[in-house]
Structure 1
């Protein structure tokens, strides 16, 4: 069974961990009919903090990934300010650390190798892992100048996260402010034509705005053409997963929660549809999508979580499709409690037994 790391998760039919306004940690079980408290974990020894950066300067935008070949191998990365965090000398880089004992102990943190020449600003790190246990780490990268034309870089580790090298410019900047807020994913479904391909989705601020997609071959050495996913020129916060039938799913925020899919392995995308039309976006959340890869009857189900403010405060909502994205539940399920606290930045994952965890 897969492990969930960095924030401990108790798994039931659906369990969520939410951070309340008072910085308390709570857990709730969702029975798809309503939400009721399962157990207050604010003082639970299950949730132990580990300092993995060992830095006194700020870090943010964390990402974590478990190896697909060994669950004891874990890599975490974040945006790192150790080279400068006060104006006018802010230098944004990507730091990382690794664990080879399931997250109990961590290596001394390092910075990724120097990005492209004169690129002093990196952001939006995202990790994924392939079937060989290699890790891929993407980030934006730009010069600190107006109209900085961000690139999307891809780093690769072949030694269980101990070191990374700059592997490819996954998406060259297309002009103006370039590319932003990427997400990467490596297809784990062996029967898919895109098995073990690394894919990337992002928002472009180049001459042709909008949500874009690109995929690589195995090993992420060669990249295919850029495709426009969104039907218009807006949107932000794209997230991606692959289905069990070869589909590729993309969700993002654009005046509501949008969904699109490719039925031909990422060679084309269809028309956008709305999963949620509620238009008051949380300032601290974008959607997160996952697919059930278990061998249970739920295999192939598509799950999405996001935050919005329809009730006045940030709340986490859950949607499910049991037919590969053709249809969705009539109403989304409220995941967190109804207290007057903010719940935000959700993520969702499904384990090998079909059990769902939401953080």
Structure 2
């Protein structure tokens, strides 16, 4: 008997010992990395490889855990993919995932391969047929006509039919007039042979007007589904034009803010076709700052809210970004905006976040997204935001917290699974990049971009890791790491049933299994033991059958968690135990 008890005690201690020492160790970035310093396989097989090759095949040697010198590998868990692959400068990228076939992705950017001194602005683009893992050789959009030879400020857009669009500011050869163009692809991003003039009278806007941003209403059931909206600043005014026939024809310009100015516009569409436009400027005696203009009738009329003041002494133009939750979850309709601002008089520029849950009528106090020490001399800027199909928020931005100079940056990712209450910060780029450019017409640009669809997230950013003036466009493919759904049987079960997760206790991943006797809208949410929402894992309609759901909790602390499964008429809660 005593011998048996000793054996059981030994097993328990062994399990505890194993769970502790085999657990991925956290190094303060919100991600987990496993040390392989004692691995003879690593030493023998990979020791002679260059460090960048070691990293590209997924190895994380222990020397990477220390803060790197500039131009060294950083601790990003994501593979970085060069999608422009050209030795001339490329910058100001934009990206969009097809809503019809998410394996098709298009990215576009400002491209200087045809001239640097003087700068010859063109737009380059590439497309992916495998969800962003590999990209086709990049090419240039054609000039609009022999007189309007320069293109700039691209933004990629898509509709529900799988067509892609690239909006651009086209500038004449004398650099005196400009016009807004939209290039259209009907072959999933391979070619953009159709081009339409949004402003048919080129002299209606002056050279120097900036950044045409474009978005599309992609929400099923919206009265304005597939309406394209182009917004830009024109002669110190914020204006809009829209198309209801796939970009072929465009409305006359609509003033978003009558008798008011603005610039750095971005737009997003809500779950019922509401149009929200964020911009910087002054209105009705307010301080210079952030505004959101809202329309509920397809962009015909707008009301505007002042959100907060923004410092006018930032070292770069800081374009805000906006996204709306259209996931169908409990935060559907939330409007999120991000921007960069100074926290004090010192050189501490941070990324800030605000949310409205009442269609833009009121907004939360600005919240800091980056989690480096407050009032540090380091900068975070150029944020771009997206909300994926599970209602999770992803923000990409530039960051200098780990570098020796504010002229040396790395791309970062912030992620929130609780509506922006908290943010996890993760290095995105695996190299630091020093900002260098030949002239101010090229510079580093003014923005980067991110898009998501269901559980796929794709950011794009400008990167000079190659050295010199070689700006390239880099990307990563990120899966919402909390969840993966598999249909294990299409046989129709007799009843709704939720199984206990397995393994339980677990580290770091576990599987939740459930039966659906009929097609049902599924919501699976994780809560901590205090009842606070941790993450929405699933928020979509599933067919009947038996399904499994994988939750990777590598980024969460040990403890008891609850998973609540809601299939409409069937609600059940289970308990999970994460032991690290």
- Answer whether TM exceeds 0.5 for this pair: yes
Aligned counterpart, 2:299: 266
* Counterpart for residue 160 of structure 1: 188
d(CA) in 2 for partners of 1:68, 1:94: 23
Inter-CA distance 281–258: structure 2 relative to 1 (3 Å threshold): farther
Pick one of 270, 276, 279 that aligns with 1:243.
270
Q: Which has the larger radius of gyration?
A: 2
The answer on whether the counterparts of 1:115 and 1:166 sit within 8 Å (CA) in structure 2 is no
Shift of 1:233: 4.3
What are the Cα deviations for residues 139-185 of structure 1, in whole angstroms up to 9, with x where unaligned?
A: 00111325x22101100111111111232101243144374211000
8 Å contact from structure 1 (residues 130, 188) kept in 2: yes
In structure 1, the residue matched to 2:9 is none
Q: Does 1:105 align with 2:139?
A: no
Q: How big is the shift at 1:318? A: 0.2
Matched, 1:345 2:382: yes
Question: Greater helix share, 1 or 2?
Answer: 2
Taking structure 1 as the reference length, the TM-score comes to: 0.83
- The answer to whether 1:195 aligns with 2:225 is yes
Match of 1:124 in 2: 153
RMSD in angstroms over aligned alpha carbons?
A: 2.0
CA distance in 1, matches of 2:179, 2:260: 19
Classify the secondary structure of the residue corresponding to 1:237.
strand
Within 5 A, what are the aligned runs for 1:228-239? 228-239=255-266
Q: Contact (CA 8 Å) 2:206, 2:234: kept in 1 or not?
A: no
How many residues are treated as equivalent by the alignment?
Answer: 314
Match of 1:225 in 2: 252
* 2:177 partner SS: coil
Structure 1 gap segments, 5+ residues each: 1-14, 17-39
Say if 1:288 and 1:76 are closer, same or farther in 2 by CA, change over 3 A: same
Looking at structure 1, the residues matched to 80 and 389 of structure 2 have their Cα atoms a distance apart, in angstroms, of: 26
CA drift of 1:234 comes to 2.6
Inter-partner Cα distance in structure 2 for 1:52 and 1:319: 32
Deviation >6 Å, runs of 4+: none
Q: Tell me the distance in 2 between the aligned counterparts of 1:143 and 1:83.
A: 16
Gaps of at least 5 residues in structure 2 are: 1-29, 32-66, 282-287, 397-580
Offset at residue 117 of structure 1 (A): 2.1
Distance 1:45 1:305, change over 3 A: closer
**Is 1:256 equivalent to 2:289 in the alignment?**
yes
Q: How many angstroms apart in 2 are the aligned matches of 1:281 and 1:141?
A: 29
| Contact 2:205–2:234 (CA under 8 A) maintained in structure 1 | no
- Whether 2:334 is the aligned partner of 1:277: answer no
Q: Give the Cα separation in 2 of the matches to 1:281 and 1:321.
A: 27
My pick for the range that moved more, 133-142 or 303-312, is: 303-312
* Separation (CA, whole Å) in 1 of partners of 2:329 and 2:154: 33
Alignment check: 8 A CA contact 1:280 1:310 kept: no
Shift of 1:43: 3.5
Per-residue CA distance 1:163-214 (angstroms, 9 max, x = gap): 1123210124314437421100010112222111110110002xxx400011
Given the two structures, how large is their TM-score scaled by the length of structure 2? 0.52
C-alpha displacement of 1:50: 1.8
Q: Does the residue aligned with 2:382 lie in a helix, a strand or coil?
A: coil
Q: Is residue 2:359 matched to residue 1:324?
A: yes
Within the candidate set 114, 131, 135, 1:83 is matched to 114
The residue aligned with 2:571 is: none
Counterpart CA distance in 2 for 1:137 and 1:196 is 15
Deviation at 1:45, TM superposition (A): 5.6
Distance 2:77 2:105 in 1: 18
